[in-house]
Structure 1
C-alpha cells in the first residue's frame, strides 16, 4: 500500500507541492489502481510513512534512512488525505517523478507485488542506458526488502527466489507495462552471486477498464 501511495503521488506531484500539502482523493487513487481501497487502511499506510523512514541507497552507495512525509491530515467525510511532504525527501521524490513516466502509472499500480513494483521502478531508472548496474545478490535482496536489519534472508533458497520473485516479476512487467526486461545471472563459484537486468521500451499494452473505477470507500 505504501508503494502504491508513493507511485500515485509521484504522478500528481508538482513543483508547488513542495510548499503546500498534497491532496490525495480516495476515488482517484482507487481508479488509478483499478481496485477499491479502504479509507482507514490508506490513512494508516500514509501515517506510518510519517514515523517510519524508508531506507534508500545514497550517492556513496551507502544505505540511509529517508523520511518522505511530515504529517498526514485525514478528512474522512470527503475521502481525502492532505499530506505535507518532508523537506529532505522532496528532491528524491522529484527525481523519481522524472524517472517513472506518468503514462505508466496505472500499469505500475496494478502490478501485483511489492517486489515487482520495486523491480519495475529500478528498471525505469536505467531505461535510457538499456541495462541496470550489476548487483550482488545480498545488495539486490536489500533493495527488495528481503533482508532484515541483521542481514538475514526473509525468503530462503535461490530456486524459490528465482521462481516467485524474479520470474514472476519479469513475466508481469513484460505483459503489462511499457518495459521489456530480462534478468542476467552470474555465478561466483557454485552459487549465483551477481544479477543485472537488460531494459527495453515497448508499447504500453491496452489494459481493460478498471472495475468499479468510479466507486469510493469513505469509511
Structure 2
C-alpha cells in the first residue's frame, strides 16, 4: 500500500457524482474496515436511512450504487500524469432484504482507506443531510483542511472542474462567476455553517477585474441538533 502522503487527494478529484452517490460513498467509508478487497462491503438500506435521518427508496439507492461502478475517477499521479481509477468493481442487489453487496476495486482500496477518516462518525449525519451535492464536496474538502484552518487556493477553472461543473466537452454548467457564487459558493457556505460542525467562509481573489482564485477558511463549531426528515425520497439528491 502506498503511503498516504503519496496518494492523490480524492476530495479534489473531478467527480460527477450525484448527491445520493456522495452519500453512499461516505456512508460506505464509515463502515469500511481494514482487510482485503475480496470481501464485498454490505450496505443495508435501513442503516443508511437511519444515518441520513430519512427514508431512502431502495430502487434509487441500488441504481445510484450501480452507476458508481461505471464512473471511474481521473486522478493525478506522479509527474502530473492523469489516469483513471476505479473505486468499485460490482454491485449485487438483494432487494427482498434491503441489501446491497458492493465489491471494492483492489486498486482503489488504498485511496478509500485514506479518505475514510475524513468525516468522523459524529459528523456523518450532518454530511448526509446537506441537500446540495456541491455543499457535500466543499464540506469534505474543508474537513480535510480544518486542522490548518484554510484550504489550498484554487483557480476558478480548476474548482469548477473539481465539482463536475465542466463536462468532457468543456461546457460549463454554471455560466459566469455570478451564477457560481450565488448557486454554488454562497449556497454551500450557508448550508455547511447551518448544518455541520464547521464554519467556513469563501475568500475570493481577483486577477485584473475578474475573480480568478478562491479558497475557504475553516473553523470548528458545535454540531447543531439535527431533526429527522420525514417522508420517502422521490429521487436522488441533486445540486
TM-score normalized by the length of structure 2 = 0.84
1:147 aligns with 2:133: no
1:6-45 alignment runs, 5 A limit: 6-16=25-35, 18-45=37-64
Q: What is the Cα deviation at residue 54 of structure 1?
A: 2.5
- Match status 1:110 vs 2:123: no
Distance 1:119 1:211, change over 3 A: same
Post-superposition shift, 1:211? 3.2
SS at match of 2:35: helix
- What is the match of residue 135 of structure 1? 154
The CA deviation string for residues 88-119 of structure 1, in whole angstroms up to 9 with x for no partner, is 11111111112221211000011011111000
In the TM superposition, residue 120 of structure 1 has moved relative to its aligned partner by 0.5
Deviation of 1:177 (Å)? 0.5
Q: Secondary structure at 2:91's aligned position in 1?
A: strand
Which residue is 1:101 aligned to?
120
Cα deviation digits, residues 125-161 of structure 1 (max 9, x gap): 1111111110000000111100111322111021111
Q: Which runs of 5+ in 2 are unaligned?
A: 1-19, 233-239
1-structure distance, mates of 2:62, 2:77: 28
Q: Hey, what does 2:97 align to over in structure 1?
A: 78
Q: TM-score, normalized by length of structure 1? A: 0.91
**In 2: Cα distance, 1:106 partner to 1:17 partner:** 27
CA contact (8 A) 1:31 1:210 kept: no
CA distance 1:182–1:62, shift in 2 (3 Å)? farther
The whole-number CA distance in structure 2 between the counterparts of 1:31 and 1:155 is 33
Give ranges in structure 1 of 5+ residues lacking alignment.
214-219
Count of equivalent residues: 213
- Of 196, 199, 202, which residue of structure 2 is paired with 1:177? 196
Q: What displacement does 1:62 show?
A: 5.5
Question: How far off is 1:212 after superposition?
Answer: 6.2
1:120 and 2:139 aligned: yes
- 1:209 aligned onto 2:232: no
Which residue matches 1:157?
176
Q: What is the Cα-based RMSD across aligned positions, in Å?
A: 1.8
| Cα distance change of structure 1 residues 81 and 4 upon mapping to structure 2, 3 Å threshold | same
Contact 1:21-1:84 within 8 A present in 2 as well: yes
1:27 to 1:83, Cα distance in 2 relative to 1, 3 A: same
Worse-superposed segment, 29-38 or 175-184: 29-38
Q: Detail structure 1 runs of 4+ shifted over 6 Å in the superposition.
A: none
Contact 1:179 1:199 in 2 (8 A): yes
How far apart, in 2, do the equivalents of 1:23 and 1:161 lie?
37
